[in-house]
Amino acid sequence: MAADAPGTVPVQLVEQPRLLKLKESFIAKFGSAPKFYVRAPGRVNLIGEHIDYCGYAVLPMAIEQDILIAVEPVKTEVVQLANINSSYLDFTTTVNNIQINKTKPQWHNYFLCGLKGIQEHFGLNNPTGMNCLLDGTIPPSSGLSSSSALVCCAGLVTLKANGKTLSKVELAEICTKSERYIGTEGGGMDQSISFLAEEGTAKLIEFSPLRATDVRLPSGAAFVIANSCVEMNKAATSHYNIRVMECRLATKLLSKSKSLDWKKMLRLQDVQASLGVSLEEMLTIVEEVLHPEPYSTEEICKCLGISLEELRSQILSQNTQNGRALLTLCCTYKNRLSCVCTQQRFHGKLQSSERVVLCPISPLHEGVQNSQREKKVWIKS
């Protein structure tokens, strides 16, 4: 068994009404009983908004809301997916023909991401077919990572059904990569906290290598997470990936200006580490190298010495390749660096038990779209 593998807990269904109801629904759907159940929680990020894909540490914690899947491995090559919520349609496919439609981020595609990630990691030639019934309590498209929880749950389902083992860290890294099959260029926070979370503590998640440190919360602390009920599916639009690509392009421009190997550089933290400078010094470099006015794709190509086709095929994500968008590289980068500084100060306040009132809003969605993200208030009485 892999070190630090996800735990397995025997349960009495009569003591677990939700599991018992899921089992009954499974039997009604498939005519047989599930063999095991897999759970992955959602998350809320306390501080460090949109800096994980820049390589910087974040401070999330898991929430009680989760994705729960009842599973029965079968001897065929068919995967049948069903959902307790009837608004999500059934889906059937074969395990050797995984097709993920990036243009239509439907619920089953997230399951297929986790399935494909484990399948490819182990090079499974004859993976096990499965009947799966899902029950989710995370509000969809609300900024609480319902999609990543589903990817993680699917990865763990596939792992268990095929008799394989991995550590939690390995699972988190695989599921981070496999969620990109749907087109979202995430940084890994959501998948990491889903696997590495522990009751009663937040986690300082750091990358390269992935590691998690307990951040004990002061006694008497209460977290209030308010859902605006306005949905924002980040895989359905290019809003999220545009910000990721802005940071990636700025990384390459900064790298080239400092005679680094810009073609290999993807994240702001990589540039900072290569230069051996502080965050404050990095801010100065950003202001010196990048102009505050938006960049056109033509200007970026000229600065990097590449063609527009090379920019689109080698750097940009699929849903950011079209058009000639003006990219606010300097402002976006400075925003991310400011978020890193704020996250570090907040972490210090938590450790010292100082009073904090926090109500951050993701910098990703500006203007009216700010109302589409969850709001968080941390109150210490």
What's the mean pLDDT when you consider all of the chain?
A: 85
Q: Per-residue pLDDT averaged across 322-331, rounded?
A: 65
- pLDDT tens-digit readout, 198-218: 988 999 999 999 999 999 887
Assess whether pLDDT exceeds 70 at residue 380: no
**pLDDT confidence of residue 2:** 60
**What is the residue whose two structure tokens read 């750097």?**
315
298 vs 370, higher pLDDT:
298
Residue 290's Cβ-side half-sphere holds a number of Cα atoms within 13 Å equal to 30
Q: Can you tell me the mean pLDDT for 312-338?
A: 75
pLDDT for the residue 363: 30
Percentage of the chain modeled with pLDDT above 90 = 60
Provide, rounded to the nearest whole percent, the portion of the chain with pLDDT above 70: 86
- The 10s digit of each residue's pLDDT in 65-89 is 999 999 999 999 999 999 999 999 9
Tell me, what's the pLDDT at 14?
Answer: 65
User: What pTM value is reported for the model?
Assistant: 0.86
Q: pLDDT of 216-234, one tens digit each?
A: 887 888 888 887 777 777 6
Distance CA 275, CA 260 (A): 9
Give the pLDDT confidence score for residue 175 in this predicted structure.
98
Catalytic residues: 190
pLDDT of residue 347: 63
Give the per-residue pLDDT at 296: 87
pLDDT digits (tens, 9 = 90+) for 49-63: 889 999 999 999 999
Residue 358, pLDDT score = 36
- pLDDT confidence bin for 19, thresholds 50/70/90: very high
> Region 141-167: what's the mean pLDDT?
95
Q: What is the pLDDT of residue 350?
A: 60
Q: Using 50, 70 and 90 to split pLDDT, how confident is the model at 24? A: very high
Looking at residue 47, its pLDDT comes to 85
**CA quadruple 362, 366, 371, 373: dihedral sign:** negative
